[in-house]
Structures are given as structure tokens and as C-alpha cells.
Structure 1
């Protein structure tokens, strides 16, 4: 292992972007601590690069265990240089269709799990006065997706966490990049990565219903390459001035520009109202 090799902790490395990123990081000689939910997946991951690929079993819904496991892993490997909050899933269902338990499960995994992992990784970053937190959010992190409001809320929350952390810890040498992928050809649109609300209401068939059917049609046809996305993330981490926001897909970049443009237009339209609430 090279003396200047970095240690990455990537959550959710069993498949998709997490797996592609772990393999790309290992290929360049760095160390990867990868989290997986199933015990039988651990040996397979470590076999990728014995001695540099380290697997830990972790369920992000267990806040206390995330703090313990990530903190211990950081200590054993001399700290975490790059934390990638990648693990998560999508909850498909209109706001009115989603139950409290479904909503809480979504936030526990996508937001609170990432929060705990970040809190556990930060002490070693502070000591070294260098570190990089990469949050894998989504296009849903800057634009609300009809039919997936709780997923959108979890990603908006992760975006806000990243922006605030960048301002809070930037002077300590800690950088943050919120990565907003578009459609990558992974298993995200199928299998365990998508959970559908148990309740279904006919009035939302044109919105939430269309999203549910669209996910199935999209699966396997996405034109985004997860390997190229992984290399783009590495490029951002290596950059002297890394971006705070990194949309990854032409549709993500276009949508972000559209959201920003419409927001600016509306701000100007309502400027007098916004500024008119001061005391006379």
C-alpha cells in the first residue's frame, strides 16, 4: 500500500454506484472500508483487494451502532480521509399515501444514518485538518419529485446538512461535496432499493402512480454509467477546489439550472413583498 494512500469509508457497497466507486478507489491503490447489510456479503467484498478492502456489517437505521462501528473503523485505520454517504433507498408513494412508519424508516436510513456516519468520521478529520465528506443525494435533493416526497425530503435534508457542514468545518480543512446523480444504470429502480407505500389512492394515479410505473420501465434502460460517475466523484475529491454541488447526468445539470432560473425569477417577482415587512 502506498504511503500516501487515502482511507475511504463508503456506505452501501454491495451494488450500484457504491460498488463502482469502491472498485475505482481500490484500483488506484487506496483503502476502502465498505458497509454492507448482509453478513454473507462481507467476504466477497474483502476479496476484491485483500488487505485494502475492509467490510463491515451495518444497518444505517441503528444510529448508535453506526456511531460505534464507523468510529471504531476510523480508529483502527488511522482515521477516515473520505466519507461517502451513499447507502439509501427510495420510498415511492404520494404524501397522503405514506404511513408514519414508512416515513420514519426513510428518514432513518437516508438522513439519520448519514448524520451518524458523518459525526463518527469527523473527529479524525479534525485531528488531521483534512477530510472530505461526499453526500450522494439525488436530483430529488434540489427538486421535489412527485410521487416520492419523503425520498425528496430525505435528500433535501442531506443537502442542507452538507452545505451547513461545509460552512462550519471548512476552516478545519474539511471539504463537502453533495453529488446529485441523475439516472444511472444500477439496480436502484428495482429490488430493495425502491419501497412502495402500502397505501394507494386512486386520486394520485396520474402523479404517484405514474412514478411507480415509470420506475419499472426505467430499470435497465438508464443511460448514466455508474463507473464514469464513480470516476467523476474521485476527480472532485482530488480537486484543489472541489465543488459543493456536483450534478452527475445531463438531465441533472439541466434540471438544476432550470430550478435555479425559476427560483431567481420568482424572487424578483416577489421582491417588494419580501423586502416590505420591516418596521416603518
Structure 2
């Protein structure tokens, strides 16, 4: 490939990040695969000529800046940034401690901001680039038992929508990816972080939800390898979408959101439209 794109992927040691890295490498691209444990990243992806593995905790801005510097010194630039790294604090709002909610936001919102902040000067100088952030349908629709997670993803999407306005004049595109349920390790016991607090009113619902998730783990309908290949298509579009729904279940949830929102608009259209200040 005469002009190899350079992909910078966070959270590449497990889950969807591994599939994205392998797909990009398979397409002949140069890949910087990052993770808190570089050994696990190398083990998951395998050693390859076009692969550079770099240690990165996305919650640490200094580490993000250092990782980007290493990447540019090695490959010369960064064309595509995939903000994939994240975690999942499950539970009802009252049972999640303030510290847990802060950690959820730090990883899923501030983390991608840190990495993007480090990468943007490279892309602005090149007057090109593509920032892809992996969100969730939980970033479009509130999901039961996911108050902290949905909050972090809603915030991620708000930031990404505004970021597009910031960077578009410099030839940089942004894409929010909203996957439905994919067969990753997100629902596996070691991937979920449970509430630190316990309230009797929520006990029965918590037990039922945890049981339902346990039964669903490993049976989700989406194939992460296919999502990774689809991302290559998205990244090669001349004008990539600002928002991309990944999976038939994601489309269904989005369409229902549109219907619900339109009903709410119509139900209060007259009241909403009656609020103009009337000069006397």
C-alpha cells in the first residue's frame, strides 16, 4: 500500500479494540495499539511489522501525550484515532457511590478527551484526520441499571458533536459509533464493576438484572469482527458519518427514540411555542 494510513487505537488489549486493531493491520495500515498493559496487547494481537504497542492509561494526560509522541516518532503521523478504551460501572444511581460515578466519567469521557487533545495538534498540522469514538446505544437511550455508564456515553456524544464544529475547518472528521449488543467481554463478570452501596428497595431488581445479564453474556447478536471491518469502510468514506449505528438492534432503538421524541414534541408544541417575550 503506497500510502498507509496510521491508526491509533486505545483499549487494544481486549474486547472490540483487539478486533479493530487486527482489521486495520489486515488492511495493510500501520497501527499504534495501546493499553494499560502492553504485554497483554501484544499477546492479544500478536507481533507484526506494522504494529507498535504503547503503554497508555487514557485517564493520564501526560501518558497520552507521551504515547502520541512515540507514535509520531515511529510512524510520522496519526490519520485515524479510535477512542475505544472504556469501562462499565453497572448499577442503579443511588447504589453507585460518588467515587464510582466519578471514575466512570473519568474513563469514558475525560479519557477520550485526553487522547484527542494529544492527537489534535498532529491532525491540525496535517489538515486531515478522523476521530472515531466508540459510544453505545446507551449513549442515545437511557438504559436500566446503567445510570453511570449512560451518563458517560451521553456526555461523550455531546462532546463529539461539538468537537466536529471545532475541527471541521481543519479537514478533520469525527464519527460517533453506537453499537448495540456485541459478543464482547463487556458482560463478563470480570468486566463489570458492581455498586459499592446497597439499598433494600433495589435488591430484588438488582438480582434479576444481574441474572439476566449473566444469561446474555456470550450470546449477544453482534459480531465485533464484522463491526471492525465496517469501521474500515466508514474511515475510508470521503465524508464519513458523524454518527453511525452499529447493529440492527441499534437501529431499532434509535428509530424508537425518534418516534418517542417526535410524540413529545407534538404533545407540547403549542405550549413550547408560546414562550416568546412579547414587547409592549
Common fold by TM > 0.5: yes
Contiguous gaps of at least 5 residues in structure 2: none
CA contact (8 A) 2:56 2:64 kept: yes
Partner of 2:34: 35
1:273: Cα distance to partner?
A: 2.2
Partner of 1:137: 135
Partner of 2:18: 19
Whole-Å Cα distance in 1 between the matches of residues 202 and 3 of structure 2? Answer: 54
Whole-Å Cα distance in 2 between the matches of residues 78 and 249 of structure 1? Answer: 34
1:67: Cα distance to partner?
A: 3.0
The range that moved more, 103-112 or 60-69, is 60-69
- How many residue pairs get matched? 278
1:58: Cα distance to partner?
A: 1.4
SS in 2 for 1:246: strand
Contiguous gaps of at least 5 residues in structure 1: none
SS in 1 for 2:240: coil
Whole-Å Cα distance in 2 between the matches of residues 42 and 255 of structure 1? Answer: 33
Partner of 1:68: 66
Distance 1:181 1:6, change over 3 A: same
The range that moved more, 24-33 or 209-218, is 209-218
Whole-Å Cα distance in 1 between the matches of residues 248 and 206 of structure 2? Answer: 24
Partner of 1:172: 170
Matches within 5 A, 1:56-205: 56-205=54-203
Whole-Å Cα distance in 1 between the matches of residues 108 and 115 of structure 2? Answer: 11
1:171: Cα distance to partner?
A: 2.1
Distance 1:43 1:184, change over 3 A: closer
CA contact (8 A) 1:159 1:178 kept: yes
SS in 2 for 1:88: coil
The range that moved more, 70-79 or 225-234, is 70-79
CA contact (8 A) 1:61 1:109 kept: yes
Partner of 2:7: 8
Whole-Å Cα distance in 1 between the matches of residues 217 and 53 of structure 2? Answer: 28
1:225: Cα distance to partner?
A: 0.5
Give the superposed CA RMSD: 1.7
1:204: Cα distance to partner?
A: 2.2
Whole-Å Cα distance in 2 between the matches of residues 209 and 46 of structure 1? Answer: 36
* TM-score relative to the length of structure 2: 0.93
Partner of 2:252: 254
CA contact (8 A) 2:21 2:45 kept: no
Distance 1:57 1:212, change over 3 A: same
Whole-Å Cα distance in 2 between the matches of residues 153 and 71 of structure 1? Answer: 31
Whole-Å Cα distance in 2 between the matches of residues 250 and 275 of structure 1? Answer: 36
SS in 2 for 1:184: coil
CA contact (8 A) 2:13 2:38 kept: no
